[in-house]
Amino acid sequence: MRINQLLIINDIANSKSITRSSERLYISTSNISQAISSLEEELNIKIFTRSRAGLIPTIPGKEIINKSTEIMEKIEELTQIAIQHSDNQISNLAISSEWSIASDVTSQIINVTNRYENFNITVNEGGTSQVRNEVLSKMSDFGIISVPRSYKESNKYLTNTYLFESPMVALVGKNSELALKETLTLSDIVNHPIASLESIQQNHPEVSEYLEKQGKLLLFSTTSPNIRNLLVSQRNAVGFDSEFSVSKNPYIQNGDIIVKRIVSEIAIPKRAFYLIKLKQINLSGAAQEFFDELQNHYTNDIKN
């Protein structure tokens, strides 16, 4: 039994839909179904049943969900007790960061580490879905994500703090015919394959919808920035990123990938960066200082 399974059944009890919970938790529908099935198999009971209204808890399922809520509350109490008694011991802080900002986050937290002794920091790097899952599962104290500016947090367990936003740009290989253009429109891009980090439908919904309407969306989805960069630089694919993030991309620094401003036929929201954490959690003094340091840097030092 895992904490993530308890989070999932609690959310589905409210949403009554695997699809809606998938969108709220940023977990694939197949992984949610697998988590429920494995928990039901482990407990040897049926937790949910299907109806016209959606997924409804069974009678024993309601008891399991109520107990899972109590367990989550007790886990939080244990966390707070540990925080209160950890001042004179080695403290641990885990931060999850979206790929495009991870290196910058690391350089910022170094400015704070010198003020503390006996302090261990772990920075996990991944996609937005991974960052959210690690925060929800308490693998990380807090995280930093990048999402469309139109994004609204729907997960009741998370709170987000806005940092800054950055325009979206297109990435093309230096040998691509698109590299010769000063700017790009979506019409220019439509005949080229798209190399997307994670889901283009979630990360760039407006672009995805436009390209799908043209009937020519050839998509490569990956969770690896390096594979995305290889597809763009060597396979004539087009990628998307925030203007803030591209300065850290080694393929752009060495000239293999060219950045192009998008002059779009449709409104494309900027990429917004947020700090996220569990609503009920109180960070330790040092962890809160790291959180505040990052918030202060990105809200005051980065020009929107």
Domain(s) of CATH 3.40.190.10: residues in the chain: 93-164+272-300, 168-269
- Tell me: the pLDDT tens digits for 135-146? 988 889 999 998
Q: C-alpha angle 234/128/174, rounded to 5°?
A: 20
The residues pairing with 257 across neighbouring beta strands, listed in sequence order, are 173
State the Cα–Cα distance between residues 122 and 130, nearest whole angstrom.
15
Residue 303: the pLDDT is: 53
Which residues are CB-neighbours of 208 under 8 A, at least 6 positions away?
Answer: 200, 201, 217
pLDDT higher than 60, residue 184 = yes
- 218, 193 contact by CB (below 8 A): yes
- The predicted model scores a pTM of 0.69
Is 3-83 in CATH node 3.90.550.10? no
What CATH number labels 168-269? Answer: 3.40.190.10
Chosen CATH of 93-164+272-300 out of 2.60.120.10, 3.40.190.10, 1.10.357.10, 3.40.50.11540: 3.40.190.10
**pLDDT tens track for 75-116:** 777 766 766 665 545 567 899 999 888 888 887 777 777 666
pLDDT, tens digit (0-9, with 9 covering 90-100), for 206-234 = 888 888 887 766 678 888 889 999 999 98
Indicate where the chain has its CATH 1.10.10.10 domain(s): 3-83
